[in-house]
Every structure is written in structure tokens, then in C-alpha cells.
């Protein structure tokens, strides 16, 4: 690494060494896990994922049995790969691939699940099934 020999400052050398070791590691694991909030009210569970920089077409939401999967895989944009002949040495916020899975309880109405993407937040509403209230009067024998 020739750029490490350019400086005699030990702090700068340490930073450059750390930066160089992260360079390959960042490319290798350019998968990330978006921050997620899950809230509940009387009618539904609400899942919100922080995923800025996406388009709604980039997401894939699947429900298989009781597992809800949310994912996105985007190809790298060649225009942003090289900007003014510069090459990335570390790239974290350019990562666009992720996959999250959530186990759903039996109380979720799977036919009424809805998703919306607005201002970098993917919101998924998981409505609860309406409780079937059975009342029965018991006679004393």
C-alpha cells in the first residue's frame, strides 16, 4: 500500500491502515439490515423500516405460511461507481441489498396486509383478525 508510506504522522498512518483494511471488507459485506420499528394498536401491528434512497419498485414483500419477508436487491449504478475518475475506497451508504424476515402470529389477517413507501420509510400494516365472539348461556342442571 503505497499511500501508507507517504506520511510520517503515526495517527494518519493508523487511520490509513484502518481505512485500507476496511476497503475490501466493505465491498465484501455490502449487505445491511435496515432499522425497523414495530408497534401495535388495537387493530393492527405496524412495521416501519428505514430504507432511504429506494423506489417502491425495488422492494419485494412475500408471505409464506407465517413468515413475512422483505427484501431488495439493486444492481450497482455504473455512473455512481466512478465519479470524476475517483474510485470508492469505502462505500457504506451505497448498499442497496437487504433481506429481513418476521414470524407472524396467528392473529394476523394475512389477506389484509398492506404496504406503503413514503419519504424513505417502508410501512407495512398487519391487521389483526376480528375476534369471533361466541356467547352462550349455560343452563344450570
Tell me how long the chain is.
141
Say yes or no: 20 and 83 in one domain: no
* Residue 90: band (very low, low, confident or very high) from pLDDT cuts 50, 70, 90: confident
CATH code for position 44? 2.60.40.790
The mean predicted confidence, pLDDT, of the chain is 78
Say yes or no: 96 and 117 in one domain: yes
Q: Which domain holds residue 25?
A: 1-30
User: What is the tens place of the pLDDT at every residue in 1-23?
Assistant: 444 445 566 666 666 665 555 44
User: What is the tens place of the pLDDT at every residue in 49-88?
Assistant: 999 989 999 999 999 989 999 999 776 555 555 556 677 7
Which residues are within 8 A (CB) of 70 and not within 5 positions of it... i.e. 6 or more apart? 49, 59, 60, 61, 98, 99, 100, 101, 102, 122, 124
**What is the C-alpha to C-alpha distance for residues 54 and 120, in angstroms, rounded to an integer?**
7
> If 0-12 CB within 10 Å is exposed, 13-18 middle and 19+ buried, where does residue 106 land?
exposed
Whether 132 is in a domain gets the answer no
Q: For the chain, what is the domain count?
A: 2
Say yes or no: 66 and 121 in one domain: yes
SS3 call for 138: coil
**What is the C-alpha to C-alpha distance for residues 99 and 74, in angstroms, rounded to an integer?**
12
User: What is the helix (H) or strand (E) element at residue 25, kind and residue range?
Assistant: helix 10-28
**Percent of the chain at pLDDT above 90?**
43
Per-residue model confidence (pLDDT) at position 3: 46
- pTM to 2 decimals? 0.65
Contacts 24+ apart (CB under 8 A), 74-81: none
Query: CA dihedral defined by 93, 99, 100, 106, rounded to 10 degrees?
Result: 150
Amino acid at each position: 500500500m503505497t499511500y501508507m508510506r507517504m506520511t510520517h504522522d503515526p495517527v494518519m498512518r493508523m487511520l490509513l491502515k484502518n481505512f485500507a483494511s476496511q476497503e475490501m471488507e466493505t465491498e465484501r459485506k455490502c449487505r445491511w439490515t435496515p432499522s425497523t420499528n414495530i408497534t401495535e394498536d388495537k387493530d393492527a401491528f405496524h412495521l416501519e423500516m428505514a430504507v432511504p434512497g429506494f423506489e417502491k419498485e425495488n422492494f419485494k414483500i412475500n408471505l409464506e405460511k407465517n413468515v413475512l419477508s422483505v427484501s431488495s436487491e439493486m444492481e450497482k449504478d455504473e455512473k455512481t461507481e466512478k465519479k470524476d475518475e475517483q474510485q470508492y475506497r469505502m462505500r457504506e451508504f451505497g448498499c442497496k441489498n437487504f433481506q429481513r424476515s418476521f414470524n407472524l402470529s396467528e392473529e394476523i389477517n394475512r389477506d389484509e396486509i398492506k404496504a406503503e413507501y413514503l419519504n424513505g420509510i417502508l410501512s407495512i400494516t398487519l391487521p389483526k383478525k376480528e375476534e369471533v365472539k361466541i356467547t352462550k348461556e349455560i343452563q344450570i342442571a
